[in-house]
Structure 1
Amino acid sequence: MVSMVKLSPSRANDFQNCPLLFRFRTIDQLPEPLSIDAVRGTIVHTTLENLYDLPAIERQLPQAYELWREAFAEISQNDKYRELFDAIEDISVWSNESLFLLDKYFALEEPVLLEPTERESHIEFDLQDGFKIHGYVDRIDVAPSGEIRIVDYKTGKSPREGYEQKAFFQLRFYALIIWRTRNIVPRKLRLIYLGDGRILEDSPTENDLIATEKKIVAIWKAIEAAFDSKNFPPKKSKLCDWCAHQSLCPEFGGTPPPLPLP
């Protein structure tokens, strides 16, 4: 029987991409090496969150740079990240590349004109029989008319042509929660890709969110079946190149550890 009763977009994607990876991350909770790109993303997200603590008139690029330096100083002093930063060949180059992401952000949005209603907000909904879906939203904007826009920052590059709709699964997941908990379908979903300076937008309908709900329920039922059968098979793909658990994967000659007891 499933002991996990919450599902996030990232864990749902894990199961779709590779049930064994889902198991390693969710059930076994195996450690994974830290990534300097992930740390960069954390610092940029913190910077953009803190930017909107400032009065609107002060939300300028120089202030964003200063907020980035403060976030960087704090995280770089954490022993957990020390080896990552020590391995960077030229920290000034790395820092300038990170600050350039803020340049791109200011080219895409005008923070002086925005007043986000929520930032880094945790949302959740009891979908059925105690099964909850949840997530953390970078930003929620609410217009005077009451229309809602969900915004997510990405420090990487936008998906190539033909993969845009797949990229919106995360935000449709969040939109479903907001619809079910606030009785309003978000008007806009906005993905901001700082890696190549692109914005992707989607305007979901009720039917879109019903389809998303059905997809999530289907994923959950597949997870339940995997728990019941104690079988989380690997699924080989190009994503395997970045997997930290190849030594435990049958596709690479490894053997998974015994499934933890509930």
Structure 2
Amino acid sequence: MFEASPFSLNMFQQCPRQYKFQYVDHLGDIYRKSRPYFTMGDHIHATLKDFLSVVPVSERNLPRLENLLREKWRRNRKGFDSKEDEKRWGEKALSQLRWFIQNQDISVIPFMIENNHRAELTDNILLKGRIDRVDKETDGSLHIIDYKTGKMPAEINQLQLHIYALILSKKQDLPLRKASYLYLQAGKLQTIELAAADLAQATSYVTDMVDKICAEREYPATPNSYCWNCDFLEICPNKEEAAGFTAEEDALDL
């Protein structure tokens, strides 16, 4: 059975060669590099998970939230160039969490939080995805929430939310009506309404992409603005061209 996720499908679409290195040749563990924005993003996700699932509602406050972040941070301080660099990223993380506690409902009890989901889309495709949070609304419907710690794009990627909804629809009988990106850096919540047509479109996209991947033989490298962040840049056949792209960490979909 072919295993696919929003992340892997997006990687193939951006650069088939990167996909090959990661999922066909399985070189990720060899070439993976620690990066500050990933470290920060991981800590924020883990902090919010514990804050909303472990900490009692009566004890949810800013000092407790900040202490949770510091606990996570002490366990993993990889990817920073210097103490000053680490401090800068730490301050960014604290700023995002302060916005969260000041502007979001911190009494919420999530229906699901930071769960890894697997669902059979067809007899041949297993769809996987990690969903940050699912809330149950007052009408009994489910609301998917995906945290983003990077810069808010000009247009949101609705397809990723549709795929998350598709995965969840295979595992839950409750209606799915809303999905949101919560941009912690920008302090914005962007919500879309979900419809049956969105799930049908997501199904077509996934099956079409899997067909393309299975038919691919060359896996060409396609230099683009994300190359600077690629773990496999040093072994890329187009590394000279790829190296010409400027690093833009805020543009990452974190």
Q: Please report the TM-score for the alignment, with normalisation by the length of structure 1.
A: 0.84
Once the two structures are superposed, what CA deviation does each residue of 1:53-107 show, in whole Å capped at 9, x if it has no partner?
111122111210111111112223xxxx3xx346332544442222111012123
Q: What is the identity, as a one-letter code, of the residue corresponding to 2:237?
A: P
> What is the match of residue 237 of structure 2?
250
Aligned to 2:63: 62
Q: Does residue 95 of structure 1 match 2:90?
A: yes
- Corresponding residue of 1:71: 72
Q: Which residue of 2 aligns with 1:44?
A: 44
Amino acid at match of 1:125: A
Q: Which amino acid aligns with 1:38?
A: F
Which moved further from structure 2: 88-97 or 27-36? 88-97
What is the aligned length? Answer: 237
Please list every run of 5 or more consecutive structure 2 residues that lacks an aligned counterpart in the other structure. Answer: 242-254
Instruction: Specify the structure having the higher radius of gyration (Cα).
Output: 1
2:200 corresponding residue in structure 1: 210
User: In the alignment, what sits opposite 1:29?
Assistant: 26
**How many Å separate the matches in 2 of 1:204 and 1:156?**
24
Deviation at 1:168, TM superposition (A): 2.5
Task: State the one-letter code of the partner of 1:158.
Answer: M
Question: Structure 2 CA distance, aligned partners of 1:103 and 1:43?
Answer: 14
Structure-1 separation of matches of 2:87 and 2:10: 35
In the aligned structure 2, how far is the partner of 1:240 from the partner of 1:120?
A: 28
Residues 117/183 of structure 1: CA separation in 2 closer, same or farther (3 Å cut): closer
User: Map of 1:111-150 to 2, 5 A cutoff?
Assistant: 111-112=106-107, 114-150=108-144
From 11, 31, 37, the equivalent of 1:14 is 11
Give the unaligned 5+ runs of structure 1: 255-262
Match of 1:236 in 2: 223
In the TM superposition, what is the alpha-carbon distance from 1:143 to its structure 2 partner? 2.4
Q: In the aligned structure 1, how far is the partner of 2:213 from the partner of 2:51? A: 39
Tell me how far 1:22 sits from its aligned partner: 0.8
Give the corresponding residue for 2:103: 108
Letter of the 1:8 counterpart: S
Structure 1 93/35 Cα, relative in aligned 2: closer, same or farther at 3 Å? closer
Alpha-carbon shift at residue 134 of structure 1 (Å) = 0.9
How far 1:213 sits from its partner (Å)? 0.7
| SS across alignment from 2:48 | helix
Match of 1:181 among 159, 171, 179: 171
Partner Cα separation in structure 2 for residue 203 and residue 220 of structure 1: 26
Spell out structure 1 runs of 4+ moving beyond 6 A: none
